[in-house]
Structure 1
Amino acid sequence: MPRPLHLPELLSPAGNWECARAAVANGADAIFFGLPRFNARMRADNFTAEDLPELMKFLHSHGVKGYCAFNVLIFTTELADAETQLRELEAAGVDAVIVQDLGLARMVKTLTPGLRLHASTQMTITSPEGLELANTLGIDQAVLSRELSLRELERFQANDKPEVPLEVFVHGALCVAYSGQCLTSESLGRRSANRGECAQACRMPYEMIVDGELQDLGDKRYLLSPQDLAAVQEIPRLIELGIRSFKIEGRLKTPEYVAAVTRVYRKAIDAVLADKDLTEIITEEDRYELEMTFSRGLYTGWMHGVNHQELVGAYYGKKRGYYVGVVRSVARDAVELEENPTHLKNGDGIVFENLQDTNNEQGGRIYGQHENWIEFQHGRLRTDLIAPGTRIFKTGDQALEQRLRQTFQGEIPLRKKQPLNLIISGSAGQPMVIQVKGQEASATSTIPLAPALQRPLTLETLQNQLGRLGGTPFELGEIELRLEENLILPVSELNRMRRSIVESSCARQGVGEPSLRPAITTTVADMLRSCARQGVVPEDAHLSKAPTLHVLCRDQAQIEAALEANITHLYVDFEDVRQYADAVKYVKAHSAARIYLATPRIQKSGEAGIFKLISRAEPHGVLIRNLGAIAHFRDAGIPITGDFSLNVANPLTADFLKKTGLERLTISYDLNIDQVLNLLQGAPPEWFEITLHQHMPMFHMEHCAFAAFLSEGTDFTNCGRPCEKHKVRLRDRVGMEHPLKADVGCRNTLFNAVPQTGAQYFSGLMQTGLRHYRVELLEQTQEETLRIIRTYQSLLASQRGGEDIWRELKAQSQLGVTRGTMAEMAHSY
């Protein structure tokens, strides 16, 4: 294949020092890591601020970049602490920060320009349109959603538009839900995935209830647990598409995992760049290492599009390891396999599969081997629980672990440094110019060359001063002198020019020392002032304006009930968007209510036709749920309101989104009441709307459980559309039955079985000046809809109290779900 315009980067995870060393020793071009706060893997060991200078010195001395994962939502009261951490990262020479929060992204560009800004996969960039909107923040690299196929990646035209390098995940755990759009941990346990506290509910067992009856799925229990991503064979195509960074997931994994996976993908990338056949380079032994260090089964994920029969195996949710074989017979402390086992030796750990209860499986280390028999320590196994036909997986290989550890223990050799070949020119009275051959990097002296009275500049002098490149990824190469004789320049100026050359060359490669920039005097407090209320608002000014109740309907009966209750502001969210036009006509014919149509939460390239269908329905406005939709409807002149999925958690994010043309913003569901109040104090309350009643949308996923378990189809073209024929719920371990719904893109949302209400906080919210409140319906009948709406109308009219309402509705008494790292659920109103 033609050599790519830009060499691809291999980006490895580092949850601790050993993992960082393992990544560097095995060929990573960059690592990503977190600090104890503000990262999406709070359970990792993580580094401390005190570690940063030593970490970056270690990385840069080996020619490796260091990116800090800063990929969580930032609450209003945390912005000052976030500013402090950003400045610490910049001062330590960290190369980039990986950011989810739009407001934090603005802070990076304004306060710490020495840091490159990478958009996290948590930003949910799924389309070129979404990337274009995110790019108005000035991002330097974008991590795209894992759910994109090679065909969809092609539409980003990375080779034709290289301004924003694109990064994709190529190996590791796959989240079943879209990153940045999973509210499951919050909804069930008040632990936010958007705050680094994912409880991995996707790896738990579920039962499927279809039309009220338990569906027999055999041994399939882990209905939402995808196999792990392994896209090593897709590296050639990804390089052809212009993808610049290949990311390995795993900040919670072992250093042995980091070593093995980094080694295999380094081997693959180098082979492709050398025009070698990857099918011959990546061996069965390589695949064995990938499976042994961690695997729930390896799969290409969404790289080749949706395949609902393969993505989720559904048999287990934890590490499985390398398949060994099948039991033929058992004896006391020994098991016979049907075939002579390979890859087995004494000391290896194995497990005997028990699909009835994967948390209660027999297993242990091999004590001896004889032909097809493997023996165990006396009394270690209950062989009476192991039946012929049981599958065996290898879970531990001490020899492999030792071999992998040897790669990063002891001194790690420095990589071969890149030579800097220089052209040095100049004449008396003119500045000296140093040009790096083959690069645009250059440096010009700030003072002119002068005649030398003694010790003129010589080749030896220049080699001595310019060759001091220790701690950089460079070494001095050849110097071509085009300099007049008998001239002089102060040594301090030569040193400054050397540093400038190194910085410029590093910047071209994305590796470097801290940039020499003037101090930034702007603070986050300065940024917040532009978001704050203008002028003094009289205390009773808000009392003169009545609150507005917005109701989101999901079928025609709910719309009719809402109109019967004289609701004036409707949102409509239908699975079949072809029914939108009829809904708009009905509302306009039967009322003066304003109707806004909801976009899908995810928009991919090629799905803009959905936007056109919404526009042609001629609604009064649109409820925007993804970044890619904003410009389309704004430019069409249609009023737009931002939904919760835009993740507004602080005034800086709100201010950015307001400037894109959104008339109002729905406050993120990650905020509890204290955090909501802090947001409303930091930005005009008229910007916002809050959801008082809803069934929390938990998982939002490309995986379609309807197709996977109620059909034999691989995608919407051959699944038979069971979502249109059946009412499905997923029953969790505690017996709660959560409704499952499909949307126009065949994406599934699992909703919490129990509604939540924030009615008890209503009076306090009113005192802030907030006037827009929402009720979201799910499966309520027309009669139930009418009762819920009238209940909240009585709340807004101050005829009933919030405490009374949540008891009547039997809803969870909460607003938002997350305590956060600084605030506790405090007072109620």
Structure 2
Amino acid sequence: MAPRPFFESVSGRLPELLAPVADLAMARAAIAGHADAIYVGFPEFNARGRSALLTATELDEIITLCHRHGLHVYIALNVLIFEHEFDTLVGPLTEVLQLRPDAFILQDVAIARWLAELGVRIHASTQMTIADADSLAFYSQLPFARFVLAREMSLDRIKQASEKAKELRREIECFVQGALCVSYSGQCLTSESFGGGSANRGRCAQSCRFLYDVVVDGKTVARNQYAVSARDLNAAPVLDALIDAGVDCFKIEGRLKEPQYVTASLLYHRNRMQGQRRDDTSTVLTPDLAFSRRSFPGWISGVNHQELVDAQIQSHVGEFIGPVVQIGRDAIVVQTGSDNSSASNSQNDIIPGDGIAIVNADGSRTGASVMQRDRDGDLMTLKFRRGASLQSITEGSRVFRNHSVQFERHARSLLSRDLPAVPVDVSAVAQIGQPLSVTFTTGDGCSVTVQSDAPCVRAEKSPLSEERLKAELGALSGTAYTLRTFRLHADAPVFLHQREWKKCRREAVERLDLIRSAHAPITEVDVANALSRIRERSATAHTGPYAAHAIDQQGQVISAAPSAKGATAGRLHLLVRDPDHVILLNASEVASVTLDFEYGRHLQKSLDILKEKGIRTGIATYRVMADGEDLKLIEKHRPDVVLVRNAGALHRLKGYPAELIGDFGLNVANSISADFFLDQAGLQRIVPSLDLNAEELLQMIENVDYSRIEIILHQRIASFHMEYCLYAKYLSNGSDYRSCGIPCHSHRLSLRDPEGELHPVYTDFACRNTMYRSKPQSMAGHLQTLIKKGVQDFRIDLLDESKEALRHLLDRYTSALAHPETGRSLIREEGWSEGQLRRNERSIKHRKAARR
């Protein structure tokens, strides 16, 4: 099926409904649920590494089936790509391109440039952290046809992004159903820092679903909490508002879910999009019955820190019924008319055999199967088998239905039926002396015309009737089509043998199938040549051992001092989060200091101290920036350096008179992406992605101007980066900064993980939270190799070190920079971790084989 042209908006009709698919069964479920499109993972390289590893043959079967039934197919290649993987991708990418998917969903800028070179339609994944209109505008330098927005965006932020997208003739896509990540997608390094995996590589360890203790000022205030396990998204209450906002596509998350979840979610949201909110299908097949962590509209309705996380829930509980108001020996009474209850609608009533999950005040859970149900108004009595374990249940315990007999029966019925057929309009032209001409046309514009072998002749006694020809040409059972309309044009009574009619029908169906699933004329040579062209352009963009030119506030060119490969010295930069650290620093030790304070009140004083010491000053932008959040601090204080952490800030700082350094949050994991940010986006240096291990980092540096790389020597990795505020959740009853009382100004909160490690949580100016790793990670063991390759700029990221610890770090690393051969022994002496730098990542394919 031919893809839509680039930038053709689907506005003006209902948004496209996009379904998750991991295998053929889920593809059939998507068709049964009347999806407009599906997305499925690229073999080995996609953000759901735990999903089925499809072969090219299996992917072909899915694409062919979906195209025959009128669905678009998008391939999710939404991970970062490392330097050594480009050449190995040529063959698999060629195979997938020949299957003619309609678009690719991408995270890595390098793959976007590669596919754009081939003229392939590309969508920007939510992994690119498109959280504001400026980020969307920045990445519009690349020919992305669609942007998948961050799930943290409120309706107002979505409207602003939609306006920018329409101005740029692009589309936007929003999630409306499924799991919510507590951390911004593309910015979560918890799996990387905890276990050597990476969410940016399809290896999310689900660290947000762990139990944590909440510790405030050294005291445990809550134990065994799913403190960062976000509830699931169900945007049904705000679908009309999203349509009015101009959203072009509604996306359902869930490639790791079951087929019945896919069908239920699609029918549920399709009915609501069409205004059918109370029919039997939409109530019986509510997706909460397939999988739900107590769903709600998420951030779309605005920030509410009390609602985002239910600290007692991290897995499926189903639909909420109500609180327990009375407990008997083998029964409970539930108040079903309570807020957010799903059971007040009689069509959704509980019946014998349904499964119940009861979540108690201490977080424990009781499960039971209903034997009998009685109702008295809003009160529902649920009776269980004799001897059911109800001892832990108390008044106020919450009751959920996590299994529905009706749901399972209805879902099985839908999935066992023939797949919905594609309506086809058939017309036939019969003229004496000419072959019968038959045209099949589908609603999405696919059309084929076939002819009989024999000509039509004048009828003597059994003329060709419209009724008989309609019946024969419309006999489409067992195909992907169903007859919608039929017309016969005949200039006189004609005769044609019935076998010719059948032959025309078979040939029309075969040709329609072929045109709707045809392979693209692309070869491995095309793919390899496109990669070569991009590499050549990247190589010629580098101008030698000088940093990119930036202009300072006096209009002078800023450039780092040239240094040749093999040099044995490096420049040390600091990122400081504590104002007390500033007074301890000396110009002889550090080349620059970038301030990343939680609040702005100490900023001016710290900048003045640094300037008096003759140290170049810097300010870090937000790690994520929303519309309406400005760069006033940078504009006011005019630092020498700006640490740019998001694409929106980079868009707005274009041409700004300071040295612009791109931080690790830009996710530069290879030389082609580095070229884009350095030579097209105007950065002077880039900090590579923290997803790289030491070997992968060195491979990348080989192909980048070494003077434009900055390496973090020492840090406590910033793991979760969240719109959610733990301070507001645990130290107030407030929903946001206007009602929380700002407890972050006077308290320090940390999370203790199941291993007993304590991870501090810091806020930023916008009340976003970042959880930092408990233990530091050091790059000192690779310092000698990096300096020999020509890297000259190194950074230490400070957090909450004491004055003595800071002085110790500076002494050790200053010495190591002067004598890089001592770096390995420094690691041993200090007992520092190298974290993911020593990770030996096997491919997803090999990991799955090992599990089998």
Shared fold, TM over 0.5: yes
| Distance change >3 Å, CA 128–CA 405, structure 1 → 2 | same
Please name the residue that 1:74 is paired with. Answer: 81
Structure 1's 311 and 638: CA in aligned 2 closer, same or farther, altered over 3 A?
Answer: same
How much does 1:772 deviate? Answer: 1.5
Matched, 1:722 2:766: no
Which aligned pairs between 1:381-780 and structure 2 lie closer than 5 A?
381-386=388-393, 390-417=397-424, 513-515=518-520, 520=526, 522-532=529-539, 541-544=564-567, 546-563=569-586, 566-577=589-600, 579-591=602-614, 593-607=615-629, 609=630, 611-658=631-678, 659-780=680-801
Give the match for residue 182 of structure 1. Answer: 188
User: Is 1:56 aligned with 2:53?
Assistant: no
Contact 2:36–2:71, Cα closer than 8 Å, also in 1: yes
Instruction: Determine the C-alpha separation between the residues in 1 that align with 2:411 and 2:12.
Output: 33
1:569/1:406 Cα in 2 relative to 1: closer, same or farther (>3 Å)?
same
Q: Amino acid of the residue matched to residue 164 of structure 1?
A: R
Structure 1 residues 374, 230: CA separation in 2 closer, same or farther (over 3 Å shift)?
closer
SS at match of 1:250: coil
2: CA distance, partners of 1:619 / 1:770: 24
- Unpaired segments ≥5 residues, structure 1: 272-277, 423-433, 444-453, 481-497, 825-829
Q: Are 1:693 and 1:756, in contact at CA under 8 Å, matched by a contact in 2?
A: yes
Q: Is the 1:187–1:817 Cα contact (8 Å) retained in structure 2?
A: no
Q: Give how far 1:309 is off.
A: 1.5
Deviations 1:153-196 (A, max 9, x none): 11124484261110000111110000000000111111111111
Question: Secondary structure of the residue that 1:224 maps to in structure 2?
Answer: coil
User: What's the offset of the Cα at 1:568?
Assistant: 1.6
Q: State whether structure 2 residue 815 is matched by structure 1 residue 794.
A: yes
Structure-2 residue corresponding to 1:222: 226
Q: Evaluate the alpha carbon distance shift between residue 590 and residue 378 of structure 1 in structure 2; reply closer, same or farther with a 3 A threshold.
A: same
With the length of structure 2 as denominator, give the TM-score of the two structures: 0.80
Match of 2:496 in 1: none
| Residue aligned with 2:84, SS | helix
Question: Are the aligned partners of 1:73 and 1:100 in contact in 2 as well (CA < 8 Å)?
Answer: yes
SS at the partner of 2:94?
Answer: helix
Which residue does 1:326 correspond to in 2? 324
Task: After TM superposition, give the deviation of residue 148 of structure 1 in Å.
Answer: 0.7
Name 1:348's counterpart in structure 2. 354
Secondary structure of 2:415 counterpart: coil
Whole-angstrom CA distance in 2 between matches of 1:438 and 1:32: 22
Amino acid at match of 1:20: A
CA change 1:154–1:282 in 2 (3 A) is farther
8 Å contact from structure 1 (residues 762, 802) kept in 2 = yes
Aligned counterparts of 2:619 and 2:17: Cα–Cα separation in 1: 42
**Cα pair 2:568 2:787 within 8 Å, conserved:** no
User: Aligned in 2, Cα 1:654/1:760: closer, same or farther, shift over 3 Å?
Assistant: same
Cα distance between partner residues in 2 of 1:560 and 1:674: 37
Match of 1:266 in 2: 270
Distance 1:10 1:396, change over 3 A: same
Contact 2:577 2:798 survives alignment (8 Å) = yes
- 1:244 aligned residue: 248
Are positions 1:129 and 2:149 aligned together?
no
Tell me the equivalent position of 1:426.
Answer: none
1: CA distance, partners of 2:360 / 2:840: 38
The verdict on how the C-alpha distance between 1:675 and 1:437 changes in structure 2, with shifts beyond 3 A counting, is closer
Show the 5 A alignment for 1:303-314. Answer: 303-314=300-311
The 1:338–1:654 alpha-carbon spacing in structure 2 relative to 1, beyond 3 Å, is closer
C-alpha separation in 2, matches of 1:421 and 1:793: 85
Q: Give the aligned partner of residue 505 of structure 2.
A: none
What is the CA-CA distance between 1:251 and the residue it aligns to? 0.7
CA deviations over 1:649-700 (Å, ceiling 9, x no partner): 1111111111211111101100001111111123222221111110010000
- Tell me how far apart the structure 2 counterparts of residues 392 and 438 of structure 1 sit (CA, whole Å): 46
In 1: Cα distance, 2:731 partner to 2:93 partner: 49
Q: Is 1:300–2:289 an aligned residue pair?
A: no
**Change in 2 beyond 3 A, CA 1:29/1:792:** same
Q: After TM superposition, give the deviation of residue 729 of structure 1 in Å.
A: 0.9
- Quick one: which amino acid aligns to residue 121 of structure 1? T
Secondary structure of the 1:562 match is coil
Q: Residue 147 in 1 paired to residue 152 in 2? A: yes
Alignment identity in percent?
A: 33
Q: Given the superposition, is the C-alpha separation of residues 644 and 818 from structure 1 closer, same or farther in structure 2, using an over 3 Å criterion? A: farther
Q: Would the aligned equivalents of 1:33 and 1:46 in 2 still touch at CA under 8 Å?
A: no
The letter of the residue matching 1:146 is R
Mean Cα deviation higher: 155-164 or 619-628: 155-164
> What does the per-residue CA deviation read over 1:530-586, in whole Å, with 9 as the maximum and x for residues that have no partner?
43487999xx94234621111111122222223266312222211224544443333
1: CA distance between counterparts of 2:415 and 2:212?
41
Q: Which moved more, 1:399-408 or 1:646-655?
A: 399-408
Contact conserved, 1:664 with 1:687, CA < 8 A, in 2?
yes
| Displacement after TM superposition at 1:223 (Å) | 1.3
AA of the residue aligned to 1:39: N
1:822 CA displacement: 4.3
* 1:197 paired to 2:220: no
Return the letter of the residue paired with 2:702. Answer: Q
Distance 2:384 2:687 in 1: 60
Structure-2 change in CA distance of 1:4 and 1:40 (3 Å) = closer
Instruction: Determine the structure 2 residue equivalent to 1:253.
Output: 257
Q: TM-score, normalised by structure 1?
A: 0.82
Report the CA distance between 1:54 and its aligned residue: 1.8
Could you tell me how far apart the structure 2 residues matched to 1:386 and 1:136 are? 57
User: Structure 1: which amino acid aligns with 2:669?
Assistant: A
- Which AA in structure 2 matches 1:10? L
800, 809, 815: which one pairs with 2:830? Answer: 809
Q: Distance in 2 between matches of 1:160 and 1:184?
A: 35
1:9 equivalent to 2:16? Answer: yes
- 1:322–1:769 distance in 2 versus 1, CA, 3 Å: same
Deviates more, 1:320-329 or 1:793-802: 320-329
Residues 389 and 656 from structure 1, CA distance in 2 versus in 1: closer, same or farther, beyond 3 angstroms?
Answer: closer
Paired letter, 1:148? M
Measured at CA, do residues 471 and 803 of structure 1 come closer, stay the same or move farther in structure 2, by a change above 3 Å?
same
- Does the 8 A contact of 1:63 with 1:472 survive in 2? no
CA shift in 2, pair 1:387/1:472, >3 Å:
closer
| 1:44-86 alpha-carbon deviations (Å, 9 max, x no partner) | 2253211122211210111111111111111111112333332
SS at match of 1:140: strand
What's the RMSD between the two structures over aligned residues?
Answer: 3.8
Distance 2:766 2:828 in 1: 37
Distance 2:98 2:790 in 1: 41
How far apart in 1 are the matches of 2:682 and 2:637?
A: 21
Is residue 162–residue 247 contact of structure 2 (8 Å, CA) maintained in 1?
A: no
Q: Report if aligned partners of 2:744, 2:763 keep a CA contact under 8 Å in 1.
A: yes
- 1:514 to 1:388, Cα distance in 2 relative to 1, 3 A: same
In structure 2, C-alpha distance between the alignment counterparts of 1:782 and 1:242, rounded to whole Å: 53
